[in-house]
Amino acid sequence: MSESRIRYEEPAPAIARIVLGRPETRNAQDTRLLYELNDAFDRAARDDNVKVIILAADGPDFSSGHDLREDLDGAMDGYTPVGTWCGFTCDGAQAQMAREKEIYLGFSERWRNIPKPTIAEVQGKVIAGGLMLVWPCDIIVAADDALFVDNTVAMGIAGAEFFNHPWEVGVRKAKEMLFTSGAVEAAAALRLGMVNHVVPCGELASFTLDLARCIAEQPLFALRLAKEAVNAAQDAQGRVNAMQTSFALHQLCHTHNQLVGGAMMDLSFLGRQKQIAARW
């Protein structure tokens, strides 16, 4: 196998730092990267010496989202599912839904509920699937050049699989973000409460590590329970039910596009990519 797509670091006592290592693809997420990332999260979660987990990325951009160049035929071969879904080679809509239940919604929800504080260290563009790595984290520290984008509506799809938009930026901004495929800049994300801090790009890693050190001074069991309490409050607002509804609508979009145009997304998007990206 070629070099790992993920790097696991221990930059300070009680702190694990997981780094996306595909800068040549702007950290696009193929199947292998996501399973390796899940393995790294598991390693940190199960290490009783780790209190805080940082998620970072190499290169100028945190993540360009799902790797649309990946050949999905046999993409799930060789991986042991973390969830209980199967049917990755079945006909009709089943195979795609099963895959996304496992590696998109399934992984993001799993990472959101890791019983340790997690911090996303974010620079550059965070596009669609990239949000599904950042939003499950408890705290987000953004460089001043960070841009957050969900351009899935432009692809003929009703939002990214981990549909946390209303809880991240509020209902009105969530609709604008989706309807326009426009970018939310770091300063606006801070005002909206989506990120905790915005810092100069050159200070991103050091600021995040200092914040992790501060958190790591606290008792781990209390940190676990505080996180569980806040997550429970959010879930009591209906987040889980809303997430399941949006995921079903996401799958309907895939099926519609497949029936109408022979692909899981609206292929006219490919001709409009530069025009859409110009808004960022």
Amino acid 279: pLDDT? 86
Beta strands 15-20; 6-12: pairing state = antiparallel
Per-residue tens of pLDDT for the chain, all 280 residues: 468 999 999 999 999 999 999 999 999 999 999 999 999 999 999 999 999 999 999 999 999 999 999 999 999 999 999 999 999 999 999 999 999 999 999 999 999 999 999 999 999 999 999 999 999 999 999 999 999 999 999 999 999 999 999 999 999 999 999 999 999 999 999 999 999 999 999 999 999 999 999 999 999 999 999 999 999 999 999 999 999 999 999 999 999 999 999 999 999 999 999 999 998 9
> In the chain, where are the structural domains located?
6-277
Amino acid occupying residue 237: Q
Amino acid occupying residue 56: A
The CATH homologous superfamily for domain 6-277 is 2-enoyl-CoA Hydratase; Chain A, domain 1 (3.90.226.10)
